[in-house]
């Protein structure tokens, strides 16, 4: 990658798989495990995080020449916390029911290391446009990862998907999947799968290189 020009589409695409925040960077696991017990909670949490990621990425990259190095963390946290507060009010204005089901986790987006991580590692060093793409890619990657975990946990733990009953009543639901430990199980399963797929792809690439001297 050194010195190579990164295309703008790549800034977006990398967050989806190659640098997926949950499965590859293993960031932001607290909400990823805590609120992924149902698919709808996972989706809402993912979208709320994406919004905060996008807004804080835009602000940080727009203000990057204005924020001195020594004051960057306090500035980033201040910006992120403000957008989280705004999101909290917006969700309450959209639906009290939704806000009730997410409980304390909206406020905890502030301490999601993914958001601070992207502000520090990317938005504070890159242009506005690239930061927008990076934030969107990471946000979508985070949302999709949460949704995957949420789908597995809801199907096995409650026998339903997005609140619609999927499995027959005779299915004994795995209560452990809706508990915190179920989050770890589902996460581990997806990590195993993602790493296996990546390893196979790497092997195939290596073989292809050896075959063509």
Partner 1 sequence: MNIPGPIQQPPTSAWSMYRAIVGIGAMCALLIVTVYQTTADRIRENQERFLAAAVSQILPAAQTTVAVVQTEDGRLEEAVETPALPVFMGYNADGELVGAVVTAQGMGYQDNIRVLYAYSFELDAIVGFKVLDSKETPGLGDKIEKEPHFLANFEALDATLTPDGDALLHPIVTVKQGQKLQPWQLDGITGATITSEAIGNILNDSANTWAPVLEKNSHAFAIREISEEQ
Is 66 an interacting residue with respect to partner 1 (CB under 8 A)? Answer: yes
E strands in the chain: 160-161, 164-165
Q: Please report the sign of the dihedral spanned by the C-alpha atoms of residue 147, residue 149, residue 152, residue 155.
A: negative
162 lines the binding site for partner 1 (CB under 8 A): no
Options 6-14, 63-71, 128-136, 201-209: segment touching partner 1 (CB under 8 A): 63-71
Q: How many separate helices (H) and strands (E) can be counted in the chain? A: 8, 2
Indicate whether 131 belongs to the interface with partner 1 (CB under 8 A): no
Q: Is the separation of the CB atoms in 51 and 159 below 8 Å?
A: no
**Residue nearer to partner 1 on the CB measure, 123 or 133:** 123
Q: Shortest Cβ distance from residue 38 to partner 1 (Å)?
A: 7
Q: Do 24 and 194 touch, CB atoms closer than 8 A?
A: yes
Question: Does the footprint of partner 1 cover residue 160 (CB under 8 A)?
Answer: no
Q: Does 103 bind partner 1 (CB under 8 A)?
A: yes
For partner 1, which residue of 20, 25, 38, 112 counts as binding (CB under 8 A)? 38
Q: Is 165 strand, coil or helix?
A: strand
Phi, psi of 165 (to 5 degrees): -65, 130
> Of the ranges 34-42, 132-140, 191-199, 205-213, which one interacts with partner 1 (CB under 8 A)?
34-42
Report residue 92 CA to chain centroid gap: 22
Of the candidate spans 9-17, 98-106, 117-125, 191-199, the one that interacts with partner 1 by CB under 8 A turns out to be 98-106
Cα separation, 115 vs 101, whole angstroms: 22
Per-residue HEC secondary structure of 55-102 comes to HHHHHHHHCCCCCCHHHHHHHHHHHHHHHHHHHHHHHHHHCHHHHHHH
Stretch that binds partner 1, among 6-14, 20-28, 46-54, 175-183 (CB under 8 A): 175-183
CA distance 44 to 87: 11
In this chain, which of 29, 47, 82, 161 binds partner 1, going by CB under 8 A? 82
Which of 6, 78, 121, 192 touches partner 1 (CB under 8 A)? 78
What is the contact surface with partner 1 in residues (CB under 8 A)? 37-38, 41, 63, 66-71, 74-75, 78-79, 81-83, 85-86, 89-90, 92-93, 95-97, 100, 103-104, 157-158, 175, 178-179
């Amino acid at each position: 990658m050194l010195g190579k020009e990164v295309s703008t589409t790549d800034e977006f695409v990398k967050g989806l798989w190659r640098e997926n925040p949950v499965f590859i960077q293993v960031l932001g696991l607290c909400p990823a495990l805590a609120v992924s017990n149902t698919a709808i909670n996972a989706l809402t949490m993912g979208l709320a995080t994406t919004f905060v990621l996008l807004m804080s990425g835009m602000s940080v990259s727009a203000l990057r020449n204005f924020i001195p190095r020594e004051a960057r963390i306090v500035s980033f946290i201040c910006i992120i916390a403000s957008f989280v507060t705004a999101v909290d009010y917006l969700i309450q204005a959209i639906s009290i029911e939704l806000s009730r089901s997410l409980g304390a986790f909206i406020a905890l987006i502030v301490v999601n290391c993914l958001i601070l991580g992207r502000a520090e590692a990317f938005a504070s060093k890159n242009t506005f446009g690239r930061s927008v793409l990076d934030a969107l890619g990471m946000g979508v990657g985070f949302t999709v990862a949460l949704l995957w975990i949420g789908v597995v946990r809801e199907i096995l733990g409650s026998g339903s998907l997005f609140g619609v009953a999927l499995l027959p009543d005779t299915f004994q639901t795995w209560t452990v999947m809706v508990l915190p430990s179920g989050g770890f199980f589902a996460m581990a399963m997806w990590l195993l799968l993602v790493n296996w797929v990546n390893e196979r792809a790497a092997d195939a690439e290596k073989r292809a290189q050896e075959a063509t001297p």
